[in-house]
Amino acid sequence: MSIEEFIDNEVKSNDVVLFMKGTPQFPQCGFSGQVVQILDHLGVGYKGLNVLESAELRNGIKVYSNWPTIPQLYVKGEFVGGCDIVREMFQAGELQQLFSDKGVAVNAAA
């Protein structure tokens, strides 16, 4: 399986996927950490993939999305954006609406 096929499979077989530096339990960059905090605050279940474990994955996700930075958030197979976009969407209530529209459960208190 090529890296493109692996990424495509992860994005399409998980409702919410975060390509990040580090893990959800131990983010290894501030931007990845911010997105983890937002997703955890919303109570959204997601799969975190650590791009630091593989240069092939780190480079492959940038090619796959045509987006130069990490982290990258995908919801139901759709690329949402990186840290700044996710943070701005969250602050405006748009991220919560996106999850709702896509049928992804969020914590009602969020």
Q: Binding site for [2Fe-2S] cluster: which residues?
A: 29
Provide the residue type at 104 as one letter: V
Phi/psi at 34 (nearest 5 deg)? -65, -45
Binding-site residues, in ranges, read 29
Phi/psi at 48 (nearest 5 deg)? -100, 130
Note whether 106 and 77 are within 8 A (CB).
Answer: no
Rounded to an integer, what distance in angstroms lies between the CA atom of residue 10 and that of residue 13?
5
Provide the residue type at 103 as one letter: G
Provide the residue type at 102 as one letter: K
